Structure 1
């Protein structure tokens, strides 16, 4: 797993979609530059597909990190499509508003799912109709 440069934080996100209801949930781990746990969260994002849920996780992670004064952010995602969309020079023209917000703030890299199972497990903790962010410290 790639660590963030000094002075940065690293956000690992993952989304889970229930195949029977199409309800999406996201999980996120926010780590310090040396890989230490700072916080995590999970959230139900409603009826979704994997790309939309991952983008919601990225956006929510950015907002949460910024609310704690973390302004230099490396996002790591296992969703290739999300990474390509946000890294695209033409992202401002994307039909996904979530892509615009992600592009404005961060560096982003593709992270294979097997390298960070924590965000995946946190995503699976969310269930029900609670659309609030649950912060884990």
Structure 2
């Protein structure tokens, strides 16, 4: 797997969804966030969601799920999901994902089966700095709407 330390643009005509989930080591409270960019890297939308006590994997899966819901609601047809969580990516690419023990994996799989094209791409943490920053600052950011 090639490790790039800069954001990679999606193919022409695609929308990039960068996601990240984070959990505070001191409180266990998690948040999920993401941002949508076009092929030129222009910001289209951003979102954040407070999750309560959770794990890093579940926070990442929530970010993907919420991002897909927003993408669907906005009529995006070609979505490249970029995540720095290898474990989440493996779960979503597993041929048995529709029978996963994690309900979020099953829900994401159902969403991805709708009439659109999605792909899941692993990226390095360095290439995902903007989504990471959003996830760590969901409580303090006011330029995007928190999704309930």
TM-score range, shorter chain: 0.7 to 0.9
1:53 aligns with 2:65: no
Does the CA contact (< 8 Å) of 2:17 and 2:35 recur in 1?
A: yes
Aligned equivalent of 2:128, options 116, 121, 133: 116
Scaled by the length of structure 2, the TM-score of the pair is 0.82
State the 1:66 CA deviation. 1.2
Q: Report the count of equivalent residues.
A: 131
Q: Which runs of 5+ in 2 are unaligned?
A: 1-6, 113-117
Aligned equivalent of 1:13, options 7, 11, 19: 19
Cα distance in 2 for partners of 1:101, 1:7 equals 26
Scaled by the length of structure 1, the TM-score of the pair is 0.88
1:134 aligns with 2:122: no
Runs of 4+ in 1 over 4 A off after TM superposition: none
Name the counterpart of 1:62.
Answer: 68
Q: Which runs of 5+ in 1 are unaligned?
A: none
- RMSD, aligned CA: 1.7
State the 1:2 CA deviation. 2.6
Going from structure 1 to structure 2, the CA distance change for 1:67 and 1:2 (only over 3 Å counts) comes to same
